[in-house]
Amino acid sequence: MCGIAGFVNLGERVSGEQLAADAQRMADRLIHRGPDDGGVYVDTAAQVALGFRRLSIIDLSREGHQPMSSASGRYRLVFNGEIYNFRELRRGLEADGHAFRGHSDTEVLLAAIEAWGLPEALKRAKGMLALALWDRKRRELSLARDRVGKKPVYYGWADRRFVFGSELKAVCALLRSRPAVNRDALTLLLRHNYIPAPYSIYQGIFKLCHAEFLTLPVEALPATADYAQLERYRNRCWRWSDAARAGAENPYEGGVQDACNDLLAVLKTAVRSRMVADVPLGALLSGGIDSSIVAALMQAESVTPVKTFSIGFQESDYNEAGFAKQVAAHLGTDHTELYVSPAQAMAVIPGLPEIFDEPLADVSQIPTYIVSRLARNKVTVALSGDGGDELFAGYTRYFFARKLRRTLFALPRPGRRLLAALIERVPAERWDRFMGFLGPMLPEGGRIRPGDKLHKLASLLECATPIELYRDLFSQWGDPETVVRDGTEPPTAFTAISDGATTSDYIEQMMQLDSITYLPENILTKVDRASMAASLEVRCPLLDADVIDFAWRLPMDFKMQGDQGKWLLRQLLYHYVPRVMVERPKMGFDVPVGRWLATDLRGWAEDLLDEGKIRQQGFWNRGRSAVAGGSTSTGRATGSIGYGTC
């Protein structure tokens, strides 16, 4: 895995030495993504510079060095990721007369671009990638990101340069001062707990969307921030709706056993292709369905025990380490586990802003970083089970949202709006007092205030569509524009679903929306930054292109039965692991942060939330606002956050 960076100088011309020095400064900020090697390339005439840091995985020789030149010399490439079908692509290119110096997938990708052009190469390449390609002949800079959004690309403008990089820290390396905070992005953070592409926390800096690529003539680039002017150069190599539509047009017609066998075949191929590496590899094992099936298939492919890693907590409600240990013992893996204390978590927290660069309100970033660091002690590559929930209907919120939709939308909208108005006429505090006598019967003994819950229900009653219901149900803030000073909530996939739902099935609509929002912007962002901070490459077999296509062909009753998701995956896993080891309520990869904030971390948190400090930031409107128990993928409350009078 690697880090890419670079820029086009749009101001006063500078020397090649200065271009190289600036590109090196950007690349140096990404050394954690690529501690093994690095390099820069400059085209002084075009004022273009590329920087690179390498984590050597395949072809450890100098033949894998980047920036890499194509055989003709026309293209220069910096590439972050892995192409899992590169051997197949290479054979086809060799049959057409292409010769290769080494055996890296980067060289194969470059040859594919030269032979077929970038759009076709992106369509044929199966893997995870982020790249920057300089075309010397056409004087065009292309940026691209993989189908599902495994690898990141930031881009934008900084001091009369068009800049790009794997992380914000590289993009900002050349700035004389930190960019202004994007207040519109703050509204999205308060709604979703993450900032979705194309927005970033900074004004003038953007994220490439998943499956998107830009091909930019350098002469046409504006010297200052102008996102709209790039629209004509924006393209997509794939859409989730493509897979959904193809699956609907070619539905799976076999029985359960046939589907189990066919799913096993595509998963075996996906796992096998991700076990290709010239360095040690292992698996991140939580003991859940997804990571267990990946570990089981890895072990079936290996003649030696696969190295597996998990972490645990003393709090039993959050601890899956015991389940992971049982699964590992049954499979015969070489298992390593670590129990994390509040003190160890506290030691990680101060470094999170440096790791993530922009806010991500997902507490599982802490254990993800810790388990990545644990794994990196023994391996350089680890496979994970990410993607199973979105493809096989694994989130418990799908079932809850469907039940709520059936209940709420049974009422005509005028009646729903009237009921919502009646609830909202009574302040939340008065509802709390009125219902106080119910305290012992309420969740957590009444510590979750019923008034907030009723006002949340009122907002849901006012939803016009089922998609709006799903968004608002799992929004952390119902109306973030009232909280962020001078902030306006911009459109996202929930408000402009051009890449969204293509089915009338509500569960499938939610799965598609999660695949284009929550998966790339939260889950995969978390895994990328946390693992790369530990110089660990994480690969996701369940997000293989063929697995995605197959999953979308399956009928819904192969994915969920009753209130249980991932049904077919479970049937497959039972061939490797006893049912009793994996059949339990979904927990997710959470940490007991609520308990820690009430005990060991309380003083630290109260200092951060000091009213005076918050007021000085100038981002928040005065008045009381609260997050009334937003839900995680496990269905448990994440807690309430009060900003007081800021």
Chain length of the chain = 646
What does the block give as tokens for 329?
Answer: 């013992």
Phi-psi region of 134 (alpha: psi -120 to 50; beta: other; left: phi over 0): beta
> Which residue has 């994390």 as its token pair?
340
DSSP class of residue 223 equals S
Residue 43 bridge partners (DSSP): 48
What does the block give as tokens for 437?
Answer: 């006598």
Sign of the torsion angle spanned by Cα atoms 143, 146, 151, 154: positive
CA distance 420 to 412: 12
Please list, in sequence order, all residues whose beta carbon lies within 8 angstroms of the beta carbon of residue 21, skipping any fewer than 6 positions away: none
Do 285 and 338 contact (CB within 8 A), yes or no?
A: no
567-571: long-range pairs with CB below 8 Å, 24+: 567/392, 568/256, 568/259, 568/260, 568/263, 568/392, 569/263, 569/289, 569/290, 569/293, 569/388, 569/392, 570/289, 571/256, 571/260
CA distances from 550 to 293, 466, 536, 567 (A): 17, 26, 29, 15
Neighbour-count burial of 459, counting CB atoms closer than 10 A to its CB (0-12 exposed, 13-18 middle, 19+ buried): middle
CA distance 598 to 503: 44
Smallest Cα–Cα separation from 114: which of 176, 60, 69? 69
Residue 80 bridge partners (DSSP): 130
What does the block give as tokens for 138?
Answer: 């056409």
Q: Is the peptide bond before 490 cis (omega within 30 degrees of 0)?
A: no
Alpha helices in 318-408 (DSSP H): 321-331, 342-348, 352-356, 365-376, 388-392, 396-408
Smallest Cα–Cα separation from 234: which of 251, 212, 249? 212
Please name the amino acid found at residue 283. Answer: A
Q: Is 646 a catalytic residue?
A: no
What does the block give as tokens for 421?
Answer: 């108005």
Do 490 and 638 contact (CB within 8 A), yes or no?
A: no
What does the block give as tokens for 175?
Answer: 């700035």
CA distance 579 to 566: 14
Smallest Cα–Cα separation from 271: which of 246, 241, 243, 291? 291
| CA contacts within 13 A on the Cβ side of 253 | 2
DSSP class of residue 482 equals G
Beta strands 140-145 and 127-135 are: antiparallel
Q: Which residues are catalytic?
A: 2
